[in-house]
């Protein structure tokens, strides 16, 4: 009698296509590795406005929910997340009834997910630990802090018995271990980057991209992209721009994305009289267009305000800027410093030292050769750290061990 393939479930609130486009470039290869080992991969999530590659679709069994997630729609980040919490218990129960050997809720960290899946599905769960959203959104609100601490404590209790935990940085593992999470259950899974999508453009294509975005030849353009959470500190960057505009007369900021802090960013830009210097295009319609936009900038910016959980990231912004061969001016956090070495493949600054940021940005502004050297080294770092094959194995290998242990 033919042995039935062992089944696993991938759960993601963006849907598979949306997940791949939002930091999951290695997922197609990871799925291939699982299928090669006789694993039947089932994917549960909403319909996605992004198009799923036909080759990827052939390797999975899709179970789409009755609503759509569109990364270009700023309201979906919240409304669809609420819907996801409502359907997650049902998905866990369905996976149990379908006989899934493991459930993977990876590349996304949501509060209490570990408990929900433990109760409604069972023990064999894999999670990614990256964002501590309860702390991010309650730390500045004294009335909400006790609730945030309670939810975080509950999450830690679930992580202590979760068999596979992925992190984006080793510093996260050290922190989790200090809180009682067994080190042998934690695995590194760096931010992957498809170098056929994000790469340095030739000079003529870069200049054309600058013109399409409305930048002049003399403009000195900073870039950043992503969801505007409160801990991203974009208002801090605007403060530094206001201080430097006399020394860098043509400084501009290409700030791509959207989120809860957009209104605050617009308010601060207006107060500092930077409205003509800050370009806010919202979400870029495609990754290829994002690559062009990043290449149009002179310096990539990676900023966080320095909360404890900010140290637990490499961040997709860092990943994409490195791949584009941009000189990166990044906040000196432990997760980022695992990848970016000051003066070699980027420059680091303290989020509590505005003068350091200003001095290093002025150094980059005046030294084109330095920008070129840092950018070239950044592209090499990206090829070493974010290679799709390496990143796919970082996720697939622990999962294969988990499900084969279940099979035994």
CATH number at residue 28: 3.40.50.2000
Residue 174 lies in a domain: yes
Are 258 and 165 in the same domain? no
Residue 304 lies in a domain: yes
Residue 371 above 70 pLDDT? yes
Residue 93 lies in a domain: yes
Residue 1 lies in a domain: no
Residue 84 lies in a domain: yes
Are 380 and 396 in the same domain? no
Residue 197 lies in a domain: no
Express each pLDDT in 277-298 by its tens digit: 999 999 898 899 999 999 999 9
Inter-residue contact 389 to 27 (CB < 8 Å): no
Are 64 and 160 in the same domain? yes
Task: Find the domain containing 128 and state its range.
Answer: 6-192+387-407
Are 187 and 208 in the same domain? no
Are 26 and 120 in the same domain? yes
Residue 3 above 50 pLDDT? no
pLDDT (0 to 100) of residue 77: 77
Are 16 and 112 in the same domain? yes
Q: Work out how many domains the chain is built from and give that number.
A: 2
Q: What percent of the chain has pLDDT over 70?
A: 98
Residue 147 lies in a domain: yes
Are 115 and 21 in the same domain? yes
Are 213 and 347 in the same domain? yes
Residue 407 above 70 pLDDT? no
Residue 2 above 80 pLDDT? no
Are 306 and 226 in the same domain? yes
Express each pLDDT in 90-127 by its tens digit: 999 999 999 999 999 987 789 999 999 999 999 999 99
Are 101 and 69 in the same domain? yes
Residue 172 lies in a domain: yes
Are 367 and 231 in the same domain? yes
3-state secondary structure the chain: CCCCCEEEEEECCCHHHHHHHCCCCCHHHHHHHHHHCCEEEEEEEEEECCCCCHHHHCCEEEEEEEEEECCCCCCHHHHHHHHHHHHHHHHHHHHHHCCCCEEEECCCCCCCHHHHHHHHCCCCEEEEECCCHHHHHHCCCCCCHHHHHHHHHHHHHHHCCCCEEEECCHHHHHHHHHCCCCHHHEEECCCCCCCCCCCCCCHHHHHHHHHHHCCCCCCEEEEEECCCCHHHCHHHHHHHHHHHCCCCCCEEEEEECCCCCHHHHHHHHHHCCCCCCEEEEECCCCHHHHHHHHHHCCEEEECCCCCHHHHHCCCHHHHHHHHCCCCEEEECCHHHHCCCCECCCEEEECCCCHHHHHHHHHHHHHCHHHHHHHHHHHHHHHHHHCCHHHHHHHHHHHHHHHHHHHHC
Are 375 and 400 in the same domain? no
pLDDT (0 to 100) of residue 405: 73
**Averaged pLDDT, 336-361:** 96
Express each pLDDT in 153-162 by its tens digit: 999 999 999 9
């Amino acid at each position: 009698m033919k042995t039935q393939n062992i089944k696993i479930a991938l759960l993601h609130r963006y849907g598979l296509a949306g997940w791949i486009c939002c930091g999951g470039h290695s997922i197609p290869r990871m799925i291939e590795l699982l299928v090669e080992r006789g694993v039947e991969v089932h994917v549960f999530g909403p319909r996605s406005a992004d198009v799923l590659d036909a080759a990827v679709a052939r390797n999975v069994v899709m179970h789409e929910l009755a609503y759509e997630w569109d990364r270009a729609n700023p309201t979906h980040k919240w409304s669809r997340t609420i819907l996801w919490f409502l359907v997650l218990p049902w998905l866990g129960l369905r996976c149990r009834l379908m006989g899934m050997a493991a459930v993977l809720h990876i590349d996304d960290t949501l509060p209490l997910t570990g408990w929900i899946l433990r109760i409604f599905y069972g023990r064999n769960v894999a999670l990614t630990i990256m964002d501590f959203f309860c702390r991010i959104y309650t730390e500045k609100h004294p009335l909400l802090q006790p609730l945030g601490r309670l939810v975080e404590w509950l999450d830690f209790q679930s992580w202590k018995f979760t068999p596979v935990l992925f992190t984006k940085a080793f510093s996260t593992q050290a922190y989790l271990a200090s809180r009682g999470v067994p080190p042998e259950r934690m695995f590194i899974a760096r931010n992957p980057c498809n170098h056929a999508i994000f790469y340095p453009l030739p000079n003529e294509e870069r200049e054309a991209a600058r013109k399409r975005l409305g930048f002049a030849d003399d403009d000195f353009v900073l870039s950043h992209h992503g969801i505007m959470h409160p801990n991203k500190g974009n208002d801090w960057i605007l403060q530094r721009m206001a201080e430097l505009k006399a020394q860098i007369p043509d400084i501009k900021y290409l700030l791509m994305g959207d989120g809860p802090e957009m209104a605050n960013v617009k308010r601060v830009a207006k107060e500092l009289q930077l409205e003509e210097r800050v370009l806010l295009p919202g979400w870029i319609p495609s990754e290829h267009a994002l690559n062009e936009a990043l290449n149009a900038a002179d310096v990539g910016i990676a900023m966080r305000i320095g909360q404890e959980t900010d140290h637990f990231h490499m961040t997709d912004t860092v990943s994409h800027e490195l791949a584009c061969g941009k000189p990166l001016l990044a906040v000196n956090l432990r997760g980022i410093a695992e990848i970016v070495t000051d003066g070699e493949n980027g420059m680091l600054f303290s989020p509590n030292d505005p003068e350091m940021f200003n001095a290093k940005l002025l150094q980059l502004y005046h030294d084109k050769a330095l920008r070129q050297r840092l950018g070239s080294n950044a592209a090499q770092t990206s090829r070493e750290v974010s290679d799709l094959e390496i990143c796919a194995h970082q996720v697939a290998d622990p999962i294969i061990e988990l499900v084969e242990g279940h099979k035994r």
